[in-house]
């Protein structure tokens, strides 16, 4: 969808770990629906891990289990991004959630074995484009599944809205939200 070339995306940071079947209602609960994007981010996991959102530091990496992001089409991926997480690596990503990661240009990868390969607070080194994942703390490495080329291009372009804005097909984002 675009031929823009960007510098490779590489993330090195501590990891947080969650389990299988994390659903969108846990990431973006209904009671945060009317809030601003920044406020919504502070509700991530408020039902299952209260207080966690305050502990996340900009650039941290989230590791998930199977079918991460199951559930609704709500902009849950946007909340993970706005919380400051650099990327998400999961055993597997829910198909609809993966779409929203691409839509909002939040780097997310599938990497079988990743859940067992890390303990919370260990350091990861992720090369997004090649899906190379290293555990710096343990000195181990894993190979994830790179995003298909057209989807990678969309992430590199900054997501759907940036693309449409550049093409003059949607109005620039208003300052109100």
- Length of the chain as a residue count: 177
Among 9, 10, 14, 37, binds other proteins (CB under 8 A): 37
Element (H, E) at 25: helix 24-27
Taking the complex as a whole, how short is the minimal distance between the CB of residue 5 and other proteins, in angstroms?
Answer: 20
Q: Cβ distance 140 to 116 under 8 Å?
A: no
In sign, the C-alpha dihedral spanning 77, 80, 81, 83 is positive
Residue 92 or residue 137: which is nearer to other proteins going by CB?
92
Among 23, 125, 137, 157, binds other proteins (CB under 8 A): 23
Buried b vs exposed e over 127-145: b needs ≥16 C-beta within 10 Å? bbbebbbbbeeeeeebebe
Name residues contacting other proteins, limited to 59-98 (CB under 8 A).
Answer: 66-67, 70-75, 77, 92, 94-96
> Which residues of this protein are in contact with other proteins, per CB under 8 A?
21, 23, 25-26, 29-31, 33-37, 40, 46-48, 66-67, 70-75, 77, 92, 94-96, 99-100, 103-104, 148, 150-151, 159-161, 164, 168-171, 173-174, 176-177
């Amino acid at each position: 969808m675009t031929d823009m070339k960007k510098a490779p995306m590489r993330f090195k940071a501590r990891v947080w770990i969650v389990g299988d079947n994390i659903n969108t209602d846990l990431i973006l609960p209904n009671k945060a629906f009317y809030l601003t994007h920044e406020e919504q981010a502070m509700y991530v996991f408020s039902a299952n891990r209260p207080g966690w959102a305050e502990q996340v530091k900009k650039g941290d990496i989230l590791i998930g289990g199977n079918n991460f992001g199951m559930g609704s089409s709500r902009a849950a991926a946007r909340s993970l991004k706005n919380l400051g997480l650099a990327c998400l690596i999961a055993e597997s990503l829910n198909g609809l959630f993966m779409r929203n990661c691409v839509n909002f240009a939040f780097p997310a990868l599938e990497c079988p074995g990743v859940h067992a390969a890390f303990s919370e607070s260990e350091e990861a080194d992720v090369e997004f484009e090649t899906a190379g994942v290293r555990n710096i703390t343990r000195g181990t490495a894993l190979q994830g599944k790179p995003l298909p080329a057209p989807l990678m291009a969309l992430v590199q372009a900054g997501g759907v809205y940036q693309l449409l804005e550049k093409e003059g097909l949607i109005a620039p984002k208003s300052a109100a939200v």
